Amino acid sequence: MDLKPEELTERGYVELDRLDHQQLPPFIRQYLGRWNAYTVSYYIANLLALAGVVWVFLKVAPDTVPAVGDRFTRLSYGLALAFLLVPLHEYLHVLAYRSQGARQTSYGANLRKLYFMAIADRFVANEREFRIVALTPFVVITALLVLSLPFLNPAWQLTISGTLLTHTAMCSGDFGLLSFFAAHRKDGVVTFDDQPAGMTWFLGRKDSL
């Protein structure tokens, strides 16, 4: 949106909620518990990824990796690979932010609680813009992993299936934030990050409350 944060009050927006970047997990858990198109899509994606892992583990990999312990080892490689994808995931968020007009982008992390974030300081985004930002890493990385599977041997299929499941689960923050928009859709929600304060603000139109 072509608005600055200080212009939102003049346009009739009021605060709905605020998110401390150091308190992200409780906020995400709250909104992942809501039923809407975003959360249902998230849970279905996880179930499909889990089904893929089970299928490869039980039906595809045994001929190439007969020992069960070795198959679990291959899955653990997938977990490690998913964490190596974190920089790419966040970079895709930043690219998506920039495609929507953001100029001041950066990264944040809480290593103790093991979560990461892309930040667009003072960039005001509506639901459509934020949906692009939130879903770009999920769509791009999922597509790349799925499309690679037919070209891999069964051992690597097991590893990449584990990567796909882990990465899908790690997208909980993106889908949880989108769930906030769904829960307040009638309010015409917009959001912006305050990077120095370590906060994200959510505002809605006063006349819809």
Q: Residue 120: which of 92, 140, 98, 99 has the closest Cα?
A: 98
pLDDT of residue 1: 78
Does residue 195 lie in a domain region? no
What is the reported pLDDT for 139? 99
pLDDT value for 208: 59
**17 within some domain:** no
CA–CA dist 121, 196 (Å, integer): 8
Question: Quick check: 100 and 156 in contact, CB under 8 A?
Answer: no
Asked if residue 101 belongs to a domain, the reply is yes
Structure tokens at 174: 């993106």
**Domain annotation covers residue 191:** no
Q: What angle do CA 52, 57, 63 make, to 5 degrees?
A: 130
58 within some domain = yes
94 within domain boundaries: yes
What integer pLDDT is reported at residue 209 of this predicted model? Answer: 52
The Cα–Cα gap between 31 and 37 comes to 12
| Number of compact structural domains in the chain | 1
Look at residue 199 and tell me if it is in a domain.
Answer: no
Asked if residue 13 is part of any domain, the answer here is no
Pick out the chain residues at pLDDT < 50.
none
Look up the domain containing 163 and give its range: 30-185
Question: CA 73, CA 176: separation in Å to the nearest integer?
Answer: 31
